[in-house]
Structure formats: structure tokens, C-alpha cells
């Protein structure tokens, strides 16, 4: 299978500071890829590069089959993004948010209407569709934000700590949504600080000081470091940081 994200010797420097130190990894269609690392390890920098927001200093990077140097505009059409910061408009209704985001991804009015209906139906949220976002509980907003991020059916969805500040039950439901989406062939690229969530991922990479120190399935990583949980794997690696 051809990977949807291909990164080879990616380096990103800010002056003398090396944020990403020759990263190499691939992510395959329909995979749930956990991108872990302590704060300041360089995760956000990598995500910005993969989303076409920031140019790498050197190395080969392609996303959804397009080169980041030359086709960042095409990449943007084929990816979805959701961040920990809640990214829908508080003063617009659910439907208006869907309309707006569908619109900027160039969906037709009919497509927007159908997909909004399908997505809200899946969340069992059709009743509240004209409710203004401000009045909706945090956990629900997060699920809505995810639905908006996949509305244009991107090849890859980047989730930057999508479950920050969400209760365990909603997190659980959130991950069910992620699984469904991956099952339909969307690649999920997710960062998180919750190690139980890391266990849900197909493969996990752990970044320390700008380098990828480990990359494998959670099972194999636990074996490799001879520990019982991803939490211990993470602590073992992160403790070695400068």
C-alpha cells in the first residue's frame, strides 16, 4: 500500500534551534497514527509542516500524494484539521458552522446539506441543529468540531490534542467516531497527552527533543521497553530528554 504521509529526513530549524531533527516515517491509508511527545518536543512544528503552514528546512515530505514544497495548496484541500483549541464559531448555530466550513472547502450547497444531516444524525444531534454553539456543552462541541473537520471527506485528518479538557465518557465516544472514520479509509494523525488514548492507536511514534525515539504498535513498544503500559514507555523515553 502506498503511504498517505511520507516523511524522509525532515529537518526544521529556527535559527540555531533544531525543532525537527531528521524525522523519517510513513503513515498508511486508514491508519490511526499516534504522534506523541512531551510539550516542546517538536510535535506542533511537524504538524504545521504536514499541513502546509510552514516550510521544512530540508528533507522530503509528501501528504496525500502531494509534495509540501510545491503543492501545499493541493494538500490543504485533502486534509482536515482539528485542534485542542475549540475551533467552531461560538456565535453561530451548528448548521451555520457546517455551512461555513463546507463552503470554504468548496462543497456545493446540496453536499453541505446532505453531509450535515448525515453527520448530525450520526451524533444524534439533529434536534439541536439551530442551537447557537455557545449553549452547547464542551464534550459535544468537540464531537461537532471533529465532524466539521471530516465533512469534506479528507484523506488525512490531523487531530491536535482533540480531547483536551473532555470527560472520560465523551473521550470514549470521541474515539468511537475516530475508529469509524478510520474504518472508512480516512487516515487519522493524532497527538495526545492521554496515554490510554495512545493504546487505541494502530501505531505510535514518540518524539523526544526533536527526534523520533520510538515508532511501532503499542504492543510492540511495551514489549520492547519491557513495561506494562504506554504510560511507562513514555516516561522512560521522556526522562532521557535533555
Task: Provide the binding-site residues for other proteins, judged by CB under 8 A.
Answer: 14, 48, 51-55, 73, 76-77, 79, 81-83, 85-92, 96, 99-101, 103-106, 132, 158
CB of 233 to other proteins, least distance (A): 30
Q: Is the CB of 89 or the CB of 225 nearer to other proteins?
A: 89
Check if the beta carbon of residue 178 is closer than 8 Å to that of residue 189. no
CB of 115 to other proteins, least distance (A): 15
Q: Is the CB of 151 or the CB of 206 nearer to other proteins?
A: 151
CB of 165 to other proteins, least distance (A): 13
Query: Could you give the C-alpha distances from 36 to 30, 44, 75, 238, in angstroms and in order?
Result: 19, 10, 23, 10
CB of 73 to other proteins, least distance (A): 6
Q: How buried is 207 (Cβ within 10 angstroms: 0-12 exposed, 13-18 middle, 19+ buried)?
A: buried
Q: Is the CB of 25 or the CB of 86 nearer to other proteins?
A: 86
CB of 51 to other proteins, least distance (A): 5
Instruction: Tell me the longest C-alpha to C-alpha distance in the chain.
Output: 54
Q: Is the CB of 67 or the CB of 199 nearer to other proteins?
A: 67
Provide the sign of the torsion angle of the four alpha carbons 112, 139, 80, 179, taken in this order.
Answer: negative
HSE-up (13 A, CA, CB side) for residue 235: 9
- The Cα–Cα gap between 211 and 32 comes to 20
Q: Is the CB of 106 or the CB of 242 nearer to other proteins?
A: 106
Amino acid at each position: 500500500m502506498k503511504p498517505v504521509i511520507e516523511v524522509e529526513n525532515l529537518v526544521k530549524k529556527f535559527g540555531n534551534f533544531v525543532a525537527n531533527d531528521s524525522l523519517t516515517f510513513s503513515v498508511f491509508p486508514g491508519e490511526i497514527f499516534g504522534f506523541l511527545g512531551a510539550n516542546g518536543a517538536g510535535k506542533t512544528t511537524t504538524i504545521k509542516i504536514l499541513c502546509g503552514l510552514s516550510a521544512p528546512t530540508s528533507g522530503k515530505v509528501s501528504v496525500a500524494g502531494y509534495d509540501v514544497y510545491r503543492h501545499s495548496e493541493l494538500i490543504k484541500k485533502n486534509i482536515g484539521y482539528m485542534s485542542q483549541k475549540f475551533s467552531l464559531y461560538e456565535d453561530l448555530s451548528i448548521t451555520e458552522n457546517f455551512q461555513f466550513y463546507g463552503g470554504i472547502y468548496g462543497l456545493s450547497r446540496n453536499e453541505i446539506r446532505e453531509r450535515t444531516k448525515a453527520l448530525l444524525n450520526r451524533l444524534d444531534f439533529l434536534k439541536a441543529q439551530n442551537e447557537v454553539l455557545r449553549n452547547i456543552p464542551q464534550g459535544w462541541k468537540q464531537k461537532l468540531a471533529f465532524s466539521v473537520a471530516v465533512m469534506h471527506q479528507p484523506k488525512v485528518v490531523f487531530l491536535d490534542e482533540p480531547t483536551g479538557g473532555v470527560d472520560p465518557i465523551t473521550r470514549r465516544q470521541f474515539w468511537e467516531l475516530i475508529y469509524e472514520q478510520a474504518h472508512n479509509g480516512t487516515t487519522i494523525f493524532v497527538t495526545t497527552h492521554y496515554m490510554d488514548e495512545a493504546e487505541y492507536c494502530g501505531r505510535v511514534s514518540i518524539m523526544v527533543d526533536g527526534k523520533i525515539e520510538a515508532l511501532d504498535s503499542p504492543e510492540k513498544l511495551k514489549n520492547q521497553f519491557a513495561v506494562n503500559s504506554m504510560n511507562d514507555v513514555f516516561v522512560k523515553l521522556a526522562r532521557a530528554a535533555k
